[in-house]
Amino acid sequence: MNLYKYVSDEINEKLGMTVNLETPRNREFGDFATNAAMVMAKSVGKNPRELAGDIAAKIAELPFVVDTSVAGPGFINIRLNDDFIWNMASCATQINPTDTPMTIDLDYGAYNVAKSLHIGHMRTSIVGDTFNRIAKFLGHRALSWNHMGDWGKPMALVIAWIERMHPELGYFRDDFDPETPVKFDIDPTELNSYYPAASALAKQDPEFQAHAQQIKAAFQKGHTGYHALYEKFLAVSLKMMSDTVQRLNIMPFDYDMGERNAAQYLPTVEKILRDKNLIVDSDGAQVIVVRRDSDTAPMPPYMWTDSRGADTYDSTDLAAVYCRVKTDNPDKMIYFTDQRQSLHFEQLFRASDMAGLFPYDQFEHIGYGTINGADGRPFKTRDGNAAGLDDIIDAVGTAVERRITESGKCLGRDTIDMIALAALKFNDLMHDIRSDYIFDPDAVTSFEGRTGPYILYTAVRLNSILRRVAGTATDMPAPDHLSCDERNLMIEIADFERTIRAAFDNRAPDMVANYAYDLCQLVNTFYHNCPILRDDVSPDDRARRLAIVSMAAKTLATAIDLMGLRVPDEM
């Protein structure tokens, strides 16, 4: 149930107009407030305080309002009935599916074949997956596309490198027969070293570089041997991707289909573009001019093929749009990548719109900021390379282990992994997507403050109370009275639905993370001030507080699920 919407709709109906309703952080004077009287005073020719008095009296007639008051120059404070809050909080996580369900294609992850996942893939994975969960939770049909980088020069370099090491393999012959099995196994760790080694060599050795170019052209034209070899390392690569992604507790992708899959639609899309005269020659390259007269910033043309005639990141992205429309017929396509790709996506959206593939205003690019180290510069390993995603997960795990040892506790591997997962993901989610943030494995694993471990700790605390009273009913009708701490917590619980909807509407998963944190703080204040199982607690107080614990536990668990965290039994 959406508390805010309910209260707002009822007040608007009562007053016969739309008022602006706020939820003050400090609830001393009321649970909601409105400046409606101050906004309207002039147009109705009344003194704002006087008008506020009239409006406040009307609002006070609503059955769920206990009282209203006027403050300052004409603010109206509104206090809700305790039993109303109770009833709203009891069904906080029961959410009606949206009445405007959409099919949404989500492009995130988008890892590169034969290159291990690195820090640049962290936010796209975590934020994309959480957004997917939120969209599904609200009743949308969300589909995830892992648009793998598997068609360009890196593939050619890897093939060239394998050829250099094993020239005898049949794959490199032009008359390669795909029916002939080739005895050749690829070791996953070794595979990760091929691309960096080949790319370094290509920089020094023009002959190797030229050969890789030829391989790229032949590969893209369908060379059977190269494709057979590619299939071999693709399988190894996919397995590695999925291992890392599983460590992050990311849901499986609906489609692991990248640039190579998209490439099969290139001829069809090219025909569409040519029929509309959208492809022009530019110094040997084939391009689509996407500039508009109104542009003030530079808007280079979109590359259909480069000057060597090869497919590009641009063309395969356009072909992928075509493929997605055919496959899912989505209402929206949303891409989660580093902000630095925003020009590419602006071009893609324009080109797609011009070609009539998918309308410009149904696309969205969510560009995230950079993850920096403690020095404020992009987080790198000691040797100056982009940190591997597995290494980052390991580093957080080690930091958790150290803390636990220091505190004298003894927790199992699974628990440590869950804490590390929460530390890493929560820290990623709580920041505004668009801003940069500093990543410090030690800070994110603290059990206090705005951290994943703090969220888990609170959930574990709630669950352990409920476990201790297992078998006792924890739901009850609205009680006569709530204490201040109880009330504050219940209002926050009742604010769950509004938060999740706002997180979706604003494409802001950080709202879910920060909501979880606020909720935990109120839970812990409540826990501190309102004893539950102590002997001197009256049966009424105990029953009421247990019911509150149960509502809080359910709401927090739902938020935790949306972030893709896992809760251990003990901490």
Of the two residues 317 and 492, which places its CB atom closer to ligand ARG in the complex?
Answer: 317
Question: How many residues of this chain bind ligand ARG (CB under 6 A)?
Answer: 8
Q: Is 256 in the site for ligand ARG (CB under 6 A)?
A: no
Q: Return contacts of 470-475, CB within 8 angstroms, 24+ apart.
A: 472/546, 474/546, 474/547, 474/549, 474/550, 475/90, 475/547, 475/550
By CB under 6 A, tell whether 110 contacts ligand ARG.
Answer: yes
Q: How far is the CB of 62 from ligand ARG (least distance, A)?
A: 49
Confirm or reject binding of residue 379 to ligand ARG (CB under 6 A).
Answer: no
Verify binding: residue 150, ligand ARG, rule CB under 6 A: no
Supply the minimum distance, in Å, between the C-beta of residue 380 and ligand ARG: 17
- Choosing from 82, 105, 107, 417, the residue that interacts with ligand ARG (CB under 6 A) is 107
Q: Which residue's CB is nearer to ligand ARG, number 130 or number 555?
A: 130
Q: Parallel, antiparallel, or unpaired for β 103-107 and 141-145? A: parallel
Give the residue with the Cβ less far from ligand ARG, 172 or 335: 335
Q: Which residue type sits at 456?
A: L
Q: Least distance from C-beta 286 to ligand ARG, angstroms?
A: 19
d(CA 453, CA 460): 10
User: Which tokens hold the place of 265?
Assistant: 């639609």
147 is a contact residue toward ligand ARG (CB under 6 A): yes
The 56-95 contact track toward ligand ARG, x by CB under 6 A, reads ----------------------------------------
Q: Which stretch binds ligand ARG (CB under 6 A): 56-64, 106-114, 467-475, 484-492?
A: 106-114
Can residue 163 be called a binding residue for ligand ARG (CB under 6 A)?
no
* Short-list 46, 66, 72, 58, CA closest to 11: 58
The stretch near ligand ARG (CB under 6 A) out of 104-112, 188-196, 403-411, 462-470 is 104-112
**Least Cβ distance, residue 350 to ligand ARG (angstroms):** 15
The one-character DSSP state at 311 is: B
CA-CA distance, 114 to 348, in Å (whole number)? 26
Per-residue binding string, ligand ARG, 314-353, x by CB under 6 A, is ---x-----------------x-x----------------
Burial degree of 552 (CB within 10 A; 0-12, 13-18, 19+): buried
Task: Give the nearer residue to ligand ARG in terms of CB position, either 105 or 417.
Answer: 105
Residue 303 as a binder of ligand ARG (CB under 6 A): the answer is no
Please tell me whether residue 144 binds ligand ARG under the rule CB under 6 A. Answer: no
Place of tokens 């982009």: 386
Give the residue with the Cβ less far from ligand ARG, 313 or 447.
313
In the complex, least distance from residue 110 CB atom to ligand ARG, rounded to whole angstroms: 3
Residue 112 contacts ligand ARG per CB under 6 A? yes
Nearer to ligand ARG, 110 or 551 (CB): 110
Residue nearest to ligand ARG (CB): 110
The three state secondary structure string of 247-305 is HCCCCCCCECCCHHHHHCCHHHHHHHHHHCCCEEEECCEEEECCCCCCCCCCCCCEEEE
Judged by DSSP in three states, 363 sits in strand
* Interatomic CA distance for residues 72 and 69, integer angstroms: 10
Question: Is residue 149 within the footprint of ligand ARG (CB under 6 A)?
Answer: yes
Pair of tokens at residue 365: 């690019």
Residue 498 binding ligand ARG, by CB under 6 A: no
Q: Which is nearer to ligand ARG, 68 or 144 (CB)?
A: 144
- In the complex, the smallest distance separating the C-beta of residue 405 from ligand ARG, rounded to whole angstroms, is 37
Contacts of 320 (CB under 8 A, 6+ apart): 145, 147, 257, 259, 261, 262, 265
| Relative orientation angle of helices 496-505 and 510-529, to the nearest 10 degrees | 160
Per rule CB under 6 A, is residue 118 in the interface with ligand ARG?
A: no
Distance of closest approach, residue 332 Cβ to ligand ARG, in angstroms: 14
Q: Work out whether 240 is an interface residue with ligand ARG (CB under 6 A).
A: no
Comparing CB distances to ligand ARG, the nearer of 145 and 496 is 145
Q: Compute the distance between CA of residue 326 and CA of residue 44 in angstroms, rounded to an integer.
A: 55
Could you tell me which residues come within 8 angstroms of residue 104 by beta carbon, excluding any fewer than 6 positions away?
Answer: 135, 140, 141, 142, 143, 330, 331, 332, 333, 334
Q: Least CB distance from residue 223 to ligand ARG, whole Å?
A: 23
Q: Judged by CB, which is closer to ligand ARG: 2, or 337?
A: 337
Nearest distance in Å: CB 132, ligand ARG? 15
Nearest distance from residue 348's CB to ligand ARG, in Å?
8
**According to the binding rule CB under 6 A, does residue 265 interact with ligand ARG?**
no
**Dist. CA 262–CA 256, nearest whole Å:** 11
Write out the DSSP string of 187-206.
Answer: -HHHHHHHHHHHHHHHHH-H
Backbone angles phi, psi at 157, to 5 degrees: -65, -40
> Is 544:490 a contact under the CB 8 Å cutoff?
no
Stated as kind and residue range, the H or E segment containing 76 is strand 75-80
* CB nearer to ligand ARG: pick between 125 and 337: 337
Cα–Cα distance for residue pair 254/144, rounded to 1 Å? 5
Q: Which is nearer to ligand ARG, 147 or 461 (CB)?
A: 147
CB of 109 vs ligand ARG, minimal distance in Å: 8
Task: State the nearest-atom distance from the C-beta of 571 to ligand ARG, in Å.
Answer: 35
* Residues between 448 and 487 with contacts to ligand ARG, criterion CB under 6 A: none
String of b and e for 143-162 (b: at least 16 CB within 10 Å)?
bbbbbbbbbbbbbbbbbbbb
Summarize as ranges the residues that interact with ligand ARG (CB under 6 A). Answer: 107, 110, 112, 147, 149, 317, 335, 337
